[in-house]
């Protein structure tokens, strides 16, 4: 009898250690998910900080670009007066001011920046010609002033739109990671309960996990319909097993493990 009792004791210890190992692995996975959620939140904060800086710079741009519009107006006045020497002097100042802004503006509104650069080159060339065309220069300078004003307006709209889109995307990503963490936590509890055949506790824990899935499953579906279908099927498998009068322990454990693994694939 002693060898049998000894073997049973060793078996019990082995099962206990295996259970502890499983719990440790689940805890490690939950920790990883928590770190992922924290990283996503930090990324959202970084984007918000950069956006705030960009908007601040844009606010300064309205004042910074004023000398350019003033320069275009002064150049135009000189052209209309036939004083092309003064016109060239004023326009050279405008060109110098534009050089300091061009590279920054390219990141916000590349097309408009390119168009303005081309207009400036054309006007500079026309001013240096032997017989400048007053009518043509007048039209070009008026259009340049309009382009400067439009650039500020369009840049404001572009940054505001990008800010809204980025903040929404990061908010959704943070919410998904938070829900993933909560769902994984409840699935871990359900797994531990099923292992000890405490199906009442397992049903309660899984019920909480399923409710969390209903709250964020739609977001997963938008990003990846295939992932959503796989997870939805997994949720149904576990629910089906736990709903039986005598839940099949091993089958339910397999379904829980598969569902947890599939959740790891959600980004």
Sorted by where each begins, the domain ranges of the chain are: 54-163
pLDDT value at position 94? 94
The pLDDT-based confidence of 176 (bands split at 50, 70, 90) is confident
List phi, psi (to 5°) of 108.
Answer: -100, -45
Instruction: Confirm whether pTM is higher than 0.75.
Output: no
For the stretch 186-240, pLDDT in tens is 999 999 999 999 999 999 999 999 998 998 888 888 888 998 999 999 999 999 9
54-163 is a CATH 1.20.120 domain = yes
Q: Is the Cβ–Cβ distance between 97 and 67 less than 8 Å?
A: yes
Model confidence at 130: pLDDT above 90? no
For the stretch 99-129, pLDDT in tens is 888 887 887 778 888 999 999 999 999 999 8
For the stretch 48-91, pLDDT in tens is 455 445 445 545 667 778 888 899 999 999 999 999 999 999 99
Sequential DSSP letters for 4-69: HHHHHHHHHHHHHHHHHHHHHHHHHHHHHHHHHHHHHHHHHHHHHHHHHHHHHHHHHHHHHTHHHH
Spell out the alpha helix ranges (H) of 65-198: 66-80, 84-106, 110-127, 134-195
The pLDDT-based confidence of 11 (bands split at 50, 70, 90) is very low
Q: Within 13 Å and on the Cβ side, how many CA atoms surround 175? A: 14
pLDDT value at position 168? 56
Assign 246 to helix, strand or coil: coil
For 97-107, letters b (16+ CB in 10 Å) and e give: bbeebeeebee
């Amino acid at each position: 009898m002693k060898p049998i009792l000894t073997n049973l004791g060793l078996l019990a210890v082995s099962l206990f250690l295996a259970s502890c190992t499983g719990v440790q692995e689940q805890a490690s996975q939950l920790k990883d998910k928590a770190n992922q959620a924290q990283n996503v939140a930090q990324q959202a904060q970084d984007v918000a900080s950069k956006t705030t800086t960009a908007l601040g710079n844009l606010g300064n741009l309205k004042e910074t670009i004023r000398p350019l519009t003033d320069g275009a107006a002064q150049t135009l006045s000189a052209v209309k007066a036939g004083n092309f020497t003064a016109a060239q002097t004023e326009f050279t100042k405008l060109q110098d001011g534009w050089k300091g802004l061009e590279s920054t503006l390219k990141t916000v509104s590349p097309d408009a920046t390119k168009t303005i650069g081309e207009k400036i080159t054309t006007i500079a060339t026309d001013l240096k010609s032997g017989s400048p065309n007053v009518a043509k220069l007048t039209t070009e300078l008026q259009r340049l002033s309009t382009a400067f004003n439009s650039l500020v307006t369009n840049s404001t709209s572009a940054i505001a739109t990008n800010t809204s889109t980025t903040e929404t995307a990061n908010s959704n990503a943070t919410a998904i990671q938070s829900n993933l963490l909560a769902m994984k936590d409840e699935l871990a509890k359900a797994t531990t309960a099923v292992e000890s055949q405490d199906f009442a506790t397992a049903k309660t824990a899984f019920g909480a996990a399923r409710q969390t899935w209903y709250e964020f499953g739609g977001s997963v579906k938008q990003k990846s319909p295939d992932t959503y279908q796989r997870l939805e099927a997994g949720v149904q498998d576990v629910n089906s097993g736990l709903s039986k009068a005598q839940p099949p322990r091993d089958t339910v454990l397999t379904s829980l493990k598969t569902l947890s693994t599939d959740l790891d694939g959600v980004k």
